[in-house]
Amino acid sequence: MNIAFLKAIGSSMALLLINGCAENSADKDGNGVIDSKERAAEMNYDAFIPMEAGLWETKFVFDDINVPTLRKAQKQQIMDAVAKSASSQSCLTEVDAKKPGADFFGGNGAEKCVYKTFDVSGQTVNMNLSCVMEGMGIVDMELAGVMGETEFIYDSKLDVRLPMVGTVAMKGRKTGKYVGSCPAS
């Protein structure tokens, strides 16, 4: 046999083994939903970069909305309402900053969301979740991006299911940044 052929087979086998081992689903029980215990385990499993302890501000900024039946002002109202609902301020303690709760990245009420994908590996984050927005409908979100000690930025894709309107597709960015010390309580 020729050496090039053996190298090609060896490379193919190595890729298959790597891909097989790379499956790192946080859904350990295989039910299609990643619960809070599975999210916490995922945060402990991978090489998470610790964050700065203190006050963090998260915001959504939307740059695209697809709903042909609405006028520009109505589209902007929807983007503003979703951005406001999904934006928040959170205080991370020293302990939380080393391993923030898995729901820290999703915004207000994220602990009630249903997570279908949750992967945090070092500085890379990939999430897919569905959340009920009080008085608005249901939001299906995909977040993918990077994070560091004092900020994070995720590309965001949202499908907002609104009563009477239908599904509104939105694209934008979720950002988070450390803004200083937590207010005294």
pTM over 0.95: no
Q: Is the dihedral of CA 6, 8, 12, 14 positive or negative?
A: positive
- Rounded (10°) CA dihedral 77, 80, 82, 86: -170
Does some domain include residue 29? no
Does some domain include residue 10? no
Does some domain include residue 82? yes
For tokens 């990643």, the residue is: 34
Does some domain include residue 6? no
Q: Which residues span the domain enclosing 41?
A: 36-180
CATH of the domain at 73: 2.40.160
Does some domain include residue 4? no
Does some domain include residue 23? no
The number of distinct structural domains making up the chain is 1
Alpha-carbon distances of 106 from 5, 92, 98, 124, 178, rounded to whole Å? 49, 14, 18, 15, 16
* pLDDT tens by residue, the chain, 185 residues: 333 323 332 333 233 333 333 344 678 888 888 777 777 677 666 556 778 999 999 888 888 888 777 788 888 887 888 788 777 888 888 887 777 765 666 555 566 788 888 887 778 888 888 888 777 788 898 989 998 889 989 898 988 888 877 888 889 998 999 999 998 86
- Rounded (10°) CA dihedral 97, 103, 109, 114: 180
- pLDDT for 142-180, tens place per residue? 989 998 889 989 898 988 888 877 888 889 998 999 999
Q: Which residues pair with 49 in a beta bridge?
A: none
Does some domain include residue 25? no
The 3-state secondary structure of 65-83 reads EECCCCCHHHHHHHHHHHH
Does some domain include residue 31? no
